[in-house]
Structure 1
Amino acid sequence: MDLTLQGSLLDLTDEMSLRHLGTATRRHHLTRGAWVDVRPDWLSAGDELFTALLHDVPWHAERRQMYDSVVDVPRLTKFYAAGERLPHPMLTTAREALSAHYADELGEPFVTAGLCLYRDGRDSVAWHGDRIGRSRDSDTMIAILSLGSSRTLTLRPRDGGTIEGTSQKTLRFPLGHGDLVVMGGSCQRTWDHAVPKTSEAVGPRISVQFRVSGVR
């Protein structure tokens, strides 16, 4: 796999660490009980983690039925189930920190980790909600750590139309190297999210999605 970090990501002077969530995390209240938390630069000096995941994770290329054809899914993936060892100790530390921070609201720990590799701007994920399992009819949280090149996470109401109180149809959250976004409340049931393709010259990005048991 011939993928490299862009030079702008290199930050070799600091030790890799997680910054406090607390007041640096901004909550965006949506509609129908949905919300999104954003914590920029949650992980500092994450180049080591990015490189390790890029080269050590056994990335898998999926194929999916699309109408009358079977097509390649435009990204690579790897899922780590509950109890399965994660590919880097920092991911375990991050998952434990998120479980502790959201314990009162969530009521249970994050236990799985789904990884996606977007190799360049042609890789993407279409509009969807994580509604497999309990999230189909219950509130939950999906916490996403973004590593590598910046990509935009977009959200829109599941039933379409404009966002309440605005003329917008979508919300956009640009996510950079080390940024954290958490989608909570009814977000998976009442909103859809996507990472659209881009014609910009972007490098690889890894998305790490932490979930609770029984949610995909």
Structure 2
Amino acid sequence: MTDLPECFRHLPGWVDAPERLFDELVEQLDWEQNDITIAGRTSKTPRLTCWMGDYAYTYSGVRNEPRPLPPLLAGLQERLIAESGAMYNSCLANLYRDGRDSIGYHSDNEPELGDRPTIASISLGSRRAFHVKQLATGQRWTLELGAGDLLIMGDESQSDYRHAVPKTARPVGPRMNLTFRHFQV
């Protein structure tokens, strides 16, 4: 759907050679699967993650120790700064291995990200549905994000909306999501 709220900007095919980038990052990054506790129940995170930046990052009760941003992503980060006008100094990579991997509705609204963070999200690998829900009205949007797509979430995107990548029963290959953000301490 193309009628996303103005605080979401979708740029299809923004990354050159997304298949090569996906393959290199799958091999290069130090992927983890953490335990997460939600509503008093502990289970494995339904995806693999890698946190890169200068500081530890805690969300959903999980403390993620930082790893250095590899040169491959440092160049991409510079392009993102030029594209969006926002600053980025960290990246959370998510690897969805198949349709069973997911992330529920949430906002990237941790205090370390500031009041109105801009999150630049790059999709690599298989196409997956990305859902957006407005908190005040419950209105929903679905966007199919494919390899090389960039989604910039700015302004009130984290305070007034929630987003998700739901599970799917249809056969899908692996998908990677690189979420660049500006982390403040």
Same fold (TM over 0.5): yes
Which protein is bigger by CA-based radius of gyration? 1
* Distance apart, 1:64 and its partner CA: 1.2
1:203 aligns with 2:180: no
RMSD of aligned residue pairs (Cα, Å): 2.1
The one-letter amino acid paired with 1:97 is R
The one-letter amino acid paired with 1:152 is A
Counterpart residue number, 1:54: 26
Whole-angstrom CA distance in 1 between matches of 2:82 and 2:72: 15
1:153 to 100, 115, 130: 130
The one-letter amino acid paired with 2:125 is G
Whole-angstrom CA distance in 2 between matches of 1:92 and 1:69: 37
Moved over 6 A (4+): none
* Distance apart, 1:133 and its partner CA: 1.3
Q: Mapping of 1:70-149 within 5 angstroms?
A: 70-82=42-54, 85-87=68-70, 89-103=71-85, 106=86, 109-135=87-113, 138-149=115-126
* Distance apart, 1:157 and its partner CA: 1.1
1:38 to 10, 18, 25: 10
The one-letter amino acid paired with 2:148 is G
TM-aligned CA distance change 1:134 to 1:65, over 3 Å: closer
* Distance apart, 1:134 and its partner CA: 4.9
Gaps of 5+ in 2: 56-66
The one-letter amino acid paired with 1:124 is S
Q: Is the 8 A contact 2:31 2:49 kept in 1?
A: yes
Whole-angstrom CA distance in 2 between matches of 1:95 and 1:142: 12
* Distance apart, 1:82 and its partner CA: 3.5
Whole-angstrom CA distance in 2 between matches of 1:29 and 1:46: 24
Counterpart residue number, 2:61: none
* Distance apart, 1:48 and its partner CA: 1.8
Give the secondary-structure state (helix, strand or coil) at the position aligned to 2:24: helix
* Distance apart, 1:135 and its partner CA: 4.6
Gaps of 5+ in 1: 1-26, 163-168
TM-score, L = length of structure 1: 0.74
Whole-angstrom CA distance in 1 between matches of 2:112 and 2:39: 27
Identical residues among aligned pairs (%): 32
Deviation per residue, 1:19-51 (Å, 9 max, x gap): xxxxxxxx9662xxx610110001122222111
* Distance apart, 1:93 and its partner CA: 1.5
* Distance apart, 1:170 and its partner CA: 1.1
Counterpart residue number, 2:59: none
Give the secondary-structure state (helix, strand or coil) at the position aligned to 1:189: coil
* Distance apart, 1:153 and its partner CA: 1.0
* Distance apart, 1:110 and its partner CA: 0.8
